[in-house]
């Protein structure tokens, strides 16, 4: 940890770290444009930010980190050359990073319709996640060809299929718990904190169900300039907020027993 990182880290309360952080990595194109470089140069530079963020998160003991790498819309709306570049970059990252992921005890997972990705990319993804499967530390999830609405559609399909296997429509059951159990993120807690870089105030079809109670932190920093220290600053801001889950605040004028009204009592702040 460098000096700047340790300064921010010392201000954090280690007992109240978020259990799951989700990041919308944005601003690669603008970073490149400001330097009169092609857009893909921004994506290439963004890999160093991924590396730094992942390592810092694992080192301070964040249990889960999810990165929005490519949305379903990215495939449809970006030039073929940029999409191909992103694919090659991802494959190179997966190959190069296995050693570091293992050294940091990080398990790699994915969310998104991966069956629609090129087969060569799917193979690379499978190899990398297989190589880290035994790791017991942080879960790093890459959202690839991901769309929250598609995820919810897939969850409902999966619930309907479960009912069909179980004797038909009269066995169709649905509640919040069941929907969560059929999402791609069934193995993860809901994010406590979502970070978006480059100043945009949108969720862009990212984890719409899971972010229901998340704190949102938007930084002006463009993704290629984002490093571990910016992650720690986001966590510091998160720790300064009071999470209410629809209950009342800590204001003494409203002194009710609001703790009982909160579903995640251990995370209240
Ligand atoms: C958004 O910037 C970024 C992306 C669509 C791709 C994210 C990819 C990386 C950070 C690199 C590879 C990832 C991994 C996991 C190795 P933008 O192009 O939309 O930026 P703009 O809004 O400034 O145009």
Domains in the chain: boundaries: 3-268
pLDDT in tens, 246-261: 888 766 554 444 333 3
Longest dimension (CA), the chain: 61
Is 26 annotated in the active site?
Answer: yes
When mean pLDDT is compared across 57-61, 116-120, 166-170, the lowest value belongs to 166-170
The predicted model gives 160-188 an average pLDDT of: 93
Q: What is residue 263's predicted lDDT score, i.e. its pLDDT?
A: 39
Ligand 1: nearest atom to the Cα of 200:
22
In sign, the C-alpha dihedral spanning 223, 227, 231, 237 is: negative
Rounded distance, CA 151 to CA 138, Å? 23
Q: What is residue 101's predicted lDDT score, i.e. its pLDDT?
A: 98
pLDDT surpassing 90 at residue 201? yes
Q: What is residue 251's predicted lDDT score, i.e. its pLDDT?
A: 62
CB 191 within 8 Å of CB 210: yes
pLDDT band at 178 (very low <50, low <70, confident <90, very high): very high
What is the length of the chain?
Answer: 269
Rounded distance, CA 222 to CA 29, Å? 9
Q: What is residue 173's predicted lDDT score, i.e. its pLDDT?
A: 86
Rounded distance, CA 157 to CA 263, Å? 28
Q: Which residue has its alpha carbon closest to ligand 1 atom 14?
A: 90
Using left for φ > 0, alpha for ψ between -120 and 50, and beta otherwise, residue 168 falls in left
Rounded distance, CA 58 to CA 6, Å? 15
**What's the CATH code, domain 3-268?**
3.40.1180.10
Q: What is residue 262's predicted lDDT score, i.e. its pLDDT?
A: 38
The predicted model gives 62-67 an average pLDDT of: 98
3-state secondary structure of 205: coil
Pocket test for ligand 1, best of 25, 121, 195, 206 (most atoms within 8 A of CB): 25
* Distant-in-sequence, close-in-space partners of 10: CB < 8 Å, separation ≥ 6: none
Q: What is residue 171's predicted lDDT score, i.e. its pLDDT?
A: 82
Ligand 1-lining residues (CB < 6 angstroms): 25-30, 43, 46-47, 50, 67, 69-70, 74, 89-90, 93, 142, 223
When mean pLDDT is compared across 75-84, 87-96, 174-183, 241-250, the lowest value belongs to 241-250
Phi, psi of 230 (to 5 degrees): -70, -35
Is 74 annotated in the active site?
Answer: yes
């Amino acid at each position: 940890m460098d000096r700047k990182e340790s300064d921010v880290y010392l201000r954090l309360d280690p007992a109240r770290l978020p259990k799951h952080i989700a990041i919308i990595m944005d601003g690669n194109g603008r970073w490149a444009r400001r330097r009169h470089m092609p857009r893909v140069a921004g994506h290439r530079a963004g890999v160093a930010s991924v590396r730094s963020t992942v390592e810092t998160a694992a080192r301070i003991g964040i249990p889960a980190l999810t990165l929005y790498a490519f949305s379903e819309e990215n495939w449809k709306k970006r030039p073929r050359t940029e999409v191909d570049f992103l694919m090659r970059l991802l494959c190179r990252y997966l190959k190069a990073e296995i050693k570091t992921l293992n050294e940091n005890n990080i398990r790699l997972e994915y969310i998104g319709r991966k069956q629609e990705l090129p087969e060569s990319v799917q193979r690379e993804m499978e190899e990398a996640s297989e190589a880290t499967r035994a790791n017991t530390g942080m879960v790093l999830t890459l959202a690839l060809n991901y769309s929250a609405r598609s995820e919810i559609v897939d969850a409902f399909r999966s619930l309907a299929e479960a009912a069909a296997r179980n004797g038909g429509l009269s066995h169709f059951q649905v509640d919040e718990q069941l929907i969560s159990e059929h999402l791609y993120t069934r193995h993860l807690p809901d994010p406590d904190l979502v970070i978006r870089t480059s100043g945009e105030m949108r969720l862009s079809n990212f984890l719409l169900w899971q972010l229901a109670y998340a704190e949102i932190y938007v930084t002006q920093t463009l993704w290629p300039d984002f490093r571990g220290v910016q992650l720690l600053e986001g966590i510091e801001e998160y720790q300064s907020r009071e999470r209410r889950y629809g209950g009342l605040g800590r204001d003494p004028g409203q002194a009710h027993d609001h703790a009982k009204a909160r579903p995640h009592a251990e995370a209240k702040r």
